[in-house]
Amino acid sequence: MIKKIGFFALFLTLYIQVNAQFYYEIDQDLRKKIIKEQLKELEPYTPQVNKKTVSFLFNSDLIFKEYEKSLVKKNLKTTDIALIYSFFKSNCEKIIQGDAYTTSNVKKEYVEMNSQLSNYFEENDVTNYQLQNKYDRLILIASWLLVIKSGYDSAAYKQLALTFLQDNKLVNHFRTKPVAIAKTNKKINSKNNVHNPFDDIHNVIMRTVTSYGLSGTYIYNQISVLYKNGDLFTNPSEALETFDIILSKSTKPKKWKSWKKNQGKLYVTNNSTGKVSEWKKWFNTRPGKNGHTFNGVFETSDPFSGSKVINASTVYFDNKGRFAWSNLKGGSWNMNSVYVKSKYKGTYNISNYTIDLTYKSGKKEFFFFCRYPVSNEHFIIGNSHFVPKK
């Protein structure tokens, strides 16, 4: 983990060779206080698998040592404000955008930050305490994000980075209190002053589809998300709150179509061929109510068996909020027995079109979820359909 942190700081400095315009002097006593406060602030959001590493890095001051070592090698000021902010933002953007965030973005960010700081300092009096209290924290947060990557799935990890990035805009640079972090399993909505992705969705529907393949003909229930702008996405798997629409359109163009309604009829256009199809029979799915629970054993009804969510065909739920994946055949419903034996177990929470699973290991997963049009015992997790086990 140490090498990864050092490598990223070094990567950043290779492309920003300038003299610091705005910086602060380090107060070691204040830094110790900041480390302690920030560790406490981040602890609830640190996966169990990463807690020992995070505790070691924070308590030993290695995060600052690694960051500063890379800068000193390039004769750069370790408390250069624009450089720290570029380090923080480039880490977040790299997580969110992946390879789409380039080194030219980093350089541009640095130049723009210096310009914004010039304007800010002309209009405001800022103390050394305020600067260190803010920017020491950004170094800690950016480095922490790199360390805890293994504890999150990609969707939750992106959402975490997005939360930090949106909470650390320039207007908030000089707050004296620690950054308030949104829980990663908290659904994004207008109360967080963040755009709610569900506001863009017109409906989530189900229709019966006949498909032909090497194994013959099979029939299954297909899910489609109808967006208000006319986009249609087929068979979602990720939680819709964190679904990267731009990336999906680039990597999975065949799953995207266009839709419109005319006199109550639904017309869907294949974006590649321009062919228009009339979908005559379809039904509205239902989201999960906040805190909704199941109590029983459910198995996948997919044609080829086995869940695409995890390599298991059966999931046990109870009304205490526990789940356990299993491949056990036969036997009666006994959650306590299965919960002890299963390696993949934990607690679940259902809200809207999302189910989040928190495993005993601390790992969290977020998947698309919906209930069938009528039955409360038939539902979808990811793109796998589940029915009560017979």
Report yes or no: 258 and 269 within 8 Å, Cβ to Cβ: yes
Statement to judge: residues 64 and 158 lie in one domain: yes
Statement to judge: residues 87 and 38 lie in one domain: yes
pLDDT single digits (tens) 156-194:
888 888 877 765 543 344 333 333 333 333 333 333 334
Cα–Cα–Cα angle for 233, 234, 239, rounded to 5 degrees: 75
Domain count, the chain: 3
End-of-domain residue from the set 229, 255, 284: 284
When pLDDT is averaged across residues 89-98 and rounded to a whole number, the result is 81
pLDDT score recorded for residue 260 = 94
pLDDT score recorded for residue 224 = 96
- CATH code for the domain in which residue 372 is found: 2.40.128
Residue 280: inside a domain: yes
Q: State the residue range of the domain holding 217.
A: 197-284
Give the residue among 245, 370, 368 at the shortest CA–CA distance from 309. 368
Residue 190: inside a domain: no
Please give the Cα distance from 135 to 141 (Å, whole number): 10
Statement to judge: residues 54 and 150 lie in one domain: yes
Statement to judge: residues 152 and 126 lie in one domain: yes
287 secondary structure, DSSP code: P
Statement to judge: residues 148 and 16 lie in one domain: yes
Residue 108: inside a domain: yes
Statement to judge: residues 98 and 6 lie in one domain: yes
pLDDT single digits (tens) 101-156:
566 767 777 787 777 777 767 666 678 888 888 889 888 988 898 888 888 888 88
End-of-domain residue from the set 284, 317, 349: 284
End-of-domain residue from the set 184, 209, 241: 184
Whole-model pTM: value is: 0.51
Statement to judge: residues 327 and 247 lie in one domain: no
pLDDT single digits (tens) 258-310:
999 988 889 999 988 899 999 988 999 999 887 889 999 998 876 544 445 55
